Amino acid sequence: MIIGIGTDLANIDRIAATLDRFGDRFRNRVFTETEQRKAERRRDVAGTYAKRWAAKEACSKALGTGLRMGIAWKDMSVRNLHTGQPVMEVTGWAKKRLDDLTPEGHVAIIHVTLTDDHPWAQATVLIEARPK
């Protein structure tokens, strides 16, 4: 069953301007070390960050809270499998919220998809609960 869905659209140029203005202060506040390593080795650094920004926003919406109620940016993290498929991992308050949403006898699976077409980056997150 679907227990949450969220989507977000981010402007890559806005993220690039924020990176230029705030640099590491912005990177370290919003993105995990894994996300930063991925973005910094890509040709489109700002686009990579923008997709992850959108994924975090989408995940917070799928959790039913948006970015409030104690959720932190780094409680949600995008990494890629060796195949390139993005996966969302949650920790801290986001994990607690996910556990609270997941019906007893079920396991939560977070699906995420990312795309970009300059100047836009988009992400959709769907949270599924499957019987154990």
Query: Distance (Å, rounded) from C-alpha 78 to C-alpha 51?
Result: 9
- The 10s digit of each residue's pLDDT in 114-131 is 999 999 999 999 999 999
Query: Distance (Å, rounded) from C-alpha 127 to C-alpha 5?
Result: 6
- 63: three-class secondary structure by DSSP: coil
Query: Distance (Å, rounded) from C-alpha 73 to C-alpha 117?
Result: 24
In the predicted structure, residue 68 carries a pLDDT above the cut 80 = no
- 78: three-class secondary structure by DSSP: strand
pLDDT-derived band at 65 (thresholds 50, 70, 90) equals: confident
- What is the pLDDT averaged over residues 101-113? 98
Mean pLDDT of the chain: 96
- Report whether 73 contacts 67 (CB < 8 A): yes
Question: What number of other Cβ atoms are within 10 A of residue 69's Cβ?
Answer: 11
**For the chain, which domains are there?**
2-131 (3.90.470.20)
Between strands 76-80 and 86-90, the pairing is: antiparallel
Query: What type of residue is 85?
Result: Q
- The 10s digit of each residue's pLDDT in 9-20 is 999 999 999 999
